[in-house]
């Protein structure tokens, strides 16, 4: 059980025992989804793209209309302290900021703002095969779409943004799939519940334009990596028909890293050579020990 681990969690400036990192039941964010968070991975003790993650945490709060009471530098240090105090080298890191329980109305202006950072060992999002190879992921189409950007602060990594994702991923798992793939409000391919999507066709890599969903840090890293490998990457709207004609499909995200997709609904895909190249280059980059 995640809540019963040993170790410490950074909470509002202090390292507190893991089991004592509680919030009150009237916490505003529990009722109205008014918080923001990050998902990061440490490799050999170094958080990949830490600065970008903590800048995005600040930007997400800004889009939600509040200011975090800790600078990016303080959050960087706190995250590193959490890793060190918990003796973690390869870990998932979860900063979360929320509004406290002082009052309960839709408005959050009179509620205190809090920040916590937890980290724990989390080897792979999707279980590898016994021989260590990646089995490939099976997706189902989600019933829900990513909404238009004027529906809300859709570019914030905000708690309230995850309702459709949670419902869709639950349904996918119940049906025996790993995750759900969402279209956007126009019917274009958007993303998975916690990862961005890419396809390969005739040697070119395509990914949807991130104009109504999270432009993942991994997505941007993978675009850079692919171009460094001499591959062509095109950001464009992708229809489901174009996706079904793809040679390879893969998803990217901090948690999932780079994972081949072998099935979307009834459509099967091979775990292909370009995905393998990108995956290997990404694994090298995350252990390159740069915070940039």
Which residues are annotated as catalytic? 157
> Is residue 179 involved in binding ligand PLP (CB under 6 A)?
no
21's tokens: 């990192």
> Is residue 115 involved in binding ligand PLP (CB under 6 A)?
no
Q: Which of 35, 100, 253, 260 binds ligand PLP (CB under 6 A)?
A: 253
Q: Which stretch binds ligand PLP (CB under 6 A): 19-27, 96-104, 167-175, 252-260?
A: 252-260
Q: Which of 75, 219, 259, 279 binds ligand PLP (CB under 6 A)?
A: 219
Ramachandran class of 234: left when φ > 0, alpha when ψ lies in -120 to 50, beta otherwise: beta
> Is residue 61 involved in binding ligand PLP (CB under 6 A)?
no
> Is residue 184 involved in binding ligand PLP (CB under 6 A)?
no
161's tokens: 């943004």
**Smallest gap from residue 196 Cβ to ligand PLP (A):** 5
**Smallest gap from residue 180 Cβ to ligand PLP (A):** 11
Q: Which stretch binds ligand PLP (CB under 6 A): 1-9, 63-71, 94-102, 216-224?
A: 216-224
Complex with ligand PLP: residue 100 or 253, whichever CB lies closer: 253
> Is residue 194 involved in binding ligand PLP (CB under 6 A)?
yes
Q: Report d(CA 272, CA 277) in Å as an integer.
A: 9
Burial class (CB in 10 A: 0-12, 13-18, 19+), 24: exposed
Complex with ligand PLP: residue 8 or 38, whichever CB lies closer: 38
End-to-end CA distance of the chain: 34
Q: Which of 217, 226, 264, 281 binds ligand PLP (CB under 6 A)?
A: 217
> Is residue 195 involved in binding ligand PLP (CB under 6 A)?
yes
**Smallest gap from residue 162 Cβ to ligand PLP (A):** 7
Which stretches of the chain bind ligand PLP, using CB under 6 A?
39, 165, 191, 194-196, 214, 216-219, 252-254
């Amino acid at each position: 059980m995640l809540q019963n681990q040993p170790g410490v969690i950074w909470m509002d400036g202090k390292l507190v025992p893991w089991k004592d990192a509680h919030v009150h039941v009237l916490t505003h964010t529990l009722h109205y989804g008014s918080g923001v968070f990050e998902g990061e991975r440490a490799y050999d003790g170094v958080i990949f793209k830490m600065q970008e993650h903590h800048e995005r945490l600040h930007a997400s709060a800004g889009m939600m209309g509040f200011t975090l009471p800790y600078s990016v530098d303080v959050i960087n240090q706190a995250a590193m302290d959490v890793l060190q105090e918990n003796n973690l080298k390869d870990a998932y890191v979860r900063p979360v900021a929320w509004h406290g329980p002082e009052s309960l109305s839709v408005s959050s202006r009179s509620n205190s703002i809090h920040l916590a950072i937890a980290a724990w060992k989390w080897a792979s999002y999707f279980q590898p095969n016994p021989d260590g190879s990646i089995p490939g992921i099976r997706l189902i189409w989600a019933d829900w779409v990513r909404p238009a950007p004027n529906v809300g602060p859709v570019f914030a990594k905000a708690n309230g943004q995850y309702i459709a994702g949670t419902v869709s991923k639950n349904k996918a798992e119940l049906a025996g799939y790993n995750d759900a793939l969402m279209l956007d409000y126009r019917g274009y391919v958007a993303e998975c519940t916690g990862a961005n999507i890419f396809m390969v066709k005739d040697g070119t890599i395509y990914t949807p334009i991130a104009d109504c969903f999270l432009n993942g840090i991994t997505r941007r890293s993978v675009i850079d990596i692919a171009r460094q490998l001499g591959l062509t990457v095109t950001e464009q709207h992708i229809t489901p028909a174009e996706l079904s004609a793809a040679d390879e499909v893969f998803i990217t995200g901090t948690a999932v890293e780079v994972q081949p997709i072998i099935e979307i609904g009834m459509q099967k895909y091979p775990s292909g050579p370009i995905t393998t190249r990108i995956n290997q280059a990404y694994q090298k980059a995350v252990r390159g020990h740069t915070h940039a």
